[in-house]
Amino acid sequence: MQASFSRPAAATVLAIALAAVGLVPAATPAAAATVPAGSGSYSDARPAGTSGPTTNTGAPVTPKLTAAARDKPVPTNDWWTSLAYQRYGDNPYSTPMYGHPLTYQATSGGLEVGYPTTPAVVGDGRQYEYAHKADLTVGLNGLNSPDTKADAWSDWTVTPYWSDGARTLRTTIGHGMPFVYAKGSGGDARITTAGTPTVFADNGNVLGITVAGHHYALFAPTGSDWTVSGSAITAGLGGKDYFSLAVLPSTDALATYRKYAFSFVTGSQVSWESTGGTVKATYSLTTEAKEGTERGTLQALYRHQWLHTSDALTPYTYVSPRGTMKVRESASFTTSQKNSGVLPALPASSGVDKARLTGYLNEVANASDPFSGATDTYWTGKALGRLAQLVPVADQIGQPGIRDKLLGLMKGRLQEWFTAGGASEFSYDKDWKTLTGYPASYGSDTELNDHHFHYSYYVYAAAIVAQYDQAWAADSAWGTMVKTLVRDAANPSRTDSAYPFLRGFDVYAGHSWASGHQGFAAGNNQESSSESINLSAGLVLWGAATGDTALRDLGSYLLTTESEAITQYWFDAGQQVFPSSFGHDTVGMVWGSGGAYSTWWTANPEEIHGINVLPVTGGSLHLAREKAAIKRNIAEMERENGGPAVEWRDLLWEFESLADPAAAKAKWDAGNAGYSPEQGESRAHTYHWIATLDSLGAPDLTVSGNIPTSAVLVKNGVRTYTAHNHGSTARTVTFSDGATLSVPARSTATGTGTGGGDPDPDPSTGNTFRLKSGGVLTTATDGAAGADTLASADGVNRDGTPYKPTVYEARNVDGALAAGASTTFRLRVDAGTTVGLAPQVRVSYDLTGDGSFDRAETFRYFATDPVTGWEEYTQAVGTKSVTGSLGTLRGGTVRLEIWNALNSGTSKVQTGTDGAVLKIPYA
């Protein structure tokens, strides 16, 4: 949830401030009309007595746009939205905007630009931030604009606009962009620095300066010359209208950055595809050559991106609140990740007592008020979500009567909301081009907050209904209203004139934003990342149930992408993002400037840790990919809480069961008699979830199925494969380890798999090697099991650079490169009771055996847990870096190096078994 936020009103009279920026209260609308949508409808005017978007003092507000942008749907809930949404009447420019690596704030004289590199820990140690602080301001001589408006935008860039009648300025800024591109008229280019700059390079129209410890390059048109006078730097544009600047990773990067100074970015766009269990996304910039013919550019990739790309990266890096950003010299890059599967429910298992579960189901189905008095969009959604989780569970244990009763309750409440004119309805705002549910809550009306959170529950519930009643979900029935909610919260179309593209999801940041106005000094924020995931999971299930593969694949892209962002930026799974001075292993909220160990409404550790877990659904399985992070998360909650969870114990038991089902089951057994379920939970769902995972094992995210509604669980080395087939004909689901599962039409199937099922790679083939103690890679499979010790990292971060590695080699290897294949491995490692030793692997290829390695693939390290016992480390962690190229092996050498990348202490790697295997991409 995104709580409302206010600050004291400005001393200036609000009406004067509004008039100054051309904002006036919206006219009272004519009588509302009803807009049909299949069997449903919504209104085109708000219900009487309700509000739409307002300033902090409650005055109506309309988007702050130039004439060129006035008819475009505004992507509220973005990193730059304060340019368009004037939340505070005394600030017609913007609040700080965090593009990373640069930060920005619009002022009367132009655009402040900063590059915060030193974190501050504030709020009694509960928040870290890289707060915006201007190093310089980009403007024109004499510019004094009364406001700043949004003039244009694309998927992750925006163009602010200033005009004072005599001068105009446009700048284009964006995520990952080290450049600011400016176009101005009516005055010379002017850069005002925060202090007297140091000039390190002066080449006429190219000036290198250092200010506040940061290096910048300024670029004016060829033939111009920069003049430095104290903190004022100016250049005549010589009849041109463009200039640019870049933040440099080092002074010696000037020549590289100069190459792209006049390749102005004009747009940004992401494309995605989800096929065969893999989600690929390509991030592309379009450019215009202001001088010469260069159309390339430089982009800084976030951690969640560079961990999953094999595209070449430069050595240049930047500091950011999301960890290190790495620079690519190209106008595009592609990421690839295994699809994060979604299930309507966990599969049937012998661990569930059907009689006991039936009793719990009846508690919900027969309650006097199954909706617990909910009237607004959020709490009604929570109640719908609670019922939706139980429908497939009731069906699974042979209780069709309970299933149909729950479905009837859900349909009735959804239809009430999907019909205009009643006590609850949805209403369209033509100025903001948004659909708002009334009664509203948490600023979903006045601040445009949280639409993706609220509507996620409606979409998810509708998807469960559609699984059992396709006629109900038809466009001619209630499907059009479901799709209208989707268009508001996660519209896949860039050409829809009624709703913006992906309103809340920031494709480059990799996650959604909750605030509709972005009116905070710390930028935008998101608290409940899991409710954002709930919308993505709902899209997967709705698309699969209705045959809308485009929406299904959109859901897969959003879920898989945000899952990695949550892993890195909320849970810091690799322990490479949070500053060392921030003493927490998780955050409840991510801000543009950093993160906070807090929530909007309480400092209770249970809610801080639980808000990024709820609701627990078949879309929550992605969290199990980083089991060590879950264990750290639970341990910190109990430390901060002074003991195990009390209020939200059910959510946190379910969360723990994704990493340690037996421990969660023990807590359930000890404490299930005397607790009240969290409002979106039920005793029935919690019991089914915990008992199932205890019986079948935690999710295994190293394996994915070739449809998005599939998953794998593993216990004691035995994998259970499960998938739901929404289609009208039977199909075979194939998993990435070779296992297959036959799934009847409109059914869930579960089994141990056929036609494979052993983790890839298979140690029986000639391109597969076992690790053998003594530093040998061998294709023999009859060796004795053993273990080798990995040396300590000696307390120094060795990420990416082998340090005292244990080395295994195979020599005189011949082989032809196999098309489409890649290096894979399966290793078992154990750090004992020491946490986070981070074993890391590099695989190198010397193609001719001449002692010079032609190809090196360094993989991400594995975050070991502090529990004695083997853990599986595979290539699924992704590559950290790749150098060189593969080719034919003729008498070549294959080398595997493994070392501890972090902390102090030794760990072990298993040898001589099928858990100690390297498979090379050769025939």
> What integer best gives the mean pLDDT of the chain?
93
Q: DSSP character for 130?
A: -
The stretch 331-336 carries a mean pLDDT of 97
User: Residue 13 pLDDT > 70, yes or no?
Assistant: no
When mean pLDDT is compared across 249-253, 693-697, 804-808, the lowest value belongs to: 804-808
User: Residue 229 pLDDT > 60, yes or no?
Assistant: yes
Selection from 829, 706, 688 nearest residue 771 by Cα: 829
The stretch 536-546 carries a mean pLDDT of 98
Whole-number pLDDT of residue 755: 57
User: Residue 256 pLDDT > 50, yes or no?
Assistant: yes
Whole-number pLDDT of residue 468: 98
More confident residue, 858 or 758: 858
The stretch 617-628 carries a mean pLDDT of 96
Percent residues over pLDDT 90 in the chain: 87
Give the model's confidence band at 779: pLDDT under 50 very low, under 70 low, under 90 confident, else very high.
confident
When mean pLDDT is compared across 24-38, 53-67, 193-207, 617-631, the lowest value belongs to: 24-38
Whole-number pLDDT of residue 867: 80
- The whole-angstrom separation of Cα 623 and Cα 578 is 19
When mean pLDDT is compared across 160-164, 551-555, 749-753, the lowest value belongs to: 749-753
SS3 255: helix
SS3 286: strand
pLDDT in tens, 471-495: 999 999 999 999 999 999 999 999 9
Q: What contacts 580, CB < 8 A, 6 or more positions away?
A: none
User: Residue 19 pLDDT > 50, yes or no?
Assistant: no
The stretch 319-347 carries a mean pLDDT of 97
pLDDT in tens, 492-524: 999 999 999 999 999 999 999 999 999 999 999
User: Residue 23 pLDDT > 90, yes or no?
Assistant: no
Question: Which residues form the catalytic set?
Answer: 450, 527, 531
Could you please report the per-residue DSSP string of 387-445? Answer: HHHHHHHHHHTT-HHHHHHHHHHHHHHHHHHTSTTSSSEEEEETTTTEEEEES--TTTT
Q: Look up residue 853 and give its two tokens.
A: 């390695």
User: Which phi and psi angles does 722 have, rounded to 5°?
Assistant: -145, 150
Give the model's confidence band at 31: pLDDT under 50 very low, under 70 low, under 90 confident, else very high.
low
The stretch 199-227 carries a mean pLDDT of 98
SS (H, E, C) 468-500: HCCCCCCHHHHHHHHHHHHHHHHCCCCCCCCCC
Long-range contacts of range 195-202, CB-CB < 8 Å, 24 or more positions apart?
Answer: 195/231, 196/230, 196/231, 197/228, 197/231, 197/233, 199/228, 200/251, 201/251, 201/254, 202/226
The stretch 735-761 carries a mean pLDDT of 79
pLDDT in tens, 355-402: 999 999 999 999 999 999 999 999 999 999 999 999 999 999 999 999
- The whole-angstrom separation of Cα 874 and Cα 503 is 36
User: Residue 22 pLDDT > 50, yes or no?
Assistant: no
Whole-number pLDDT of residue 644: 94
Selection from 287, 238, 233, 234 nearest residue 262 by Cα: 287
pLDDT in tens, 133-189: 999 999 999 999 999 999 999 999 999 999 999 999 999 999 999 999 999 999 999
* Cβ-based neighbour number of residue 239 at 10 Å: 8
Could you please report the per-residue DSSP string of 323-388? Answer: S-EEEEESSEEEEEEE-----SSPPP-TTS-HHHHHHHHHHHHT-S-TTTT--SHHHHHHHHHHHH
How far are the Cα atoms of 43, 371, 535, 680, 782 from residue 379, in angstroms, in the given order?
Answer: 21, 8, 16, 9, 60
Whole-number pLDDT of residue 7: 25
User: Mean pLDDT: which of 299-313, 844-858, 908-922 is highest?
Assistant: 299-313
pLDDT in tens, 88-134: 999 999 999 999 999 999 999 999 999 999 999 999 999 999 999 99
pLDDT in tens, 865-922: 888 888 889 998 899 999 999 999 988 899 999 999 999 999 999 998 888 999 999 9
Percent residues over pLDDT 70 in the chain: 95
Q: Crossing angle for the helix pair 480-490 and 529-546, nearest 10 degrees?
A: 140
- The whole-angstrom separation of Cα 630 and Cα 804 is 30
Whole-number pLDDT of residue 32: 65
What proportions of the chain, in percent to the nearest 5, are helix, strand and coil?
25, 30, 45
The amino acid sitting at 483 is K
pLDDT in tens, 609-621: 999 999 999 999 9
Whole-number pLDDT of residue 774: 84
Contact 182, 167 (CB under 8 A): no
Whole-number pLDDT of residue 2: 45
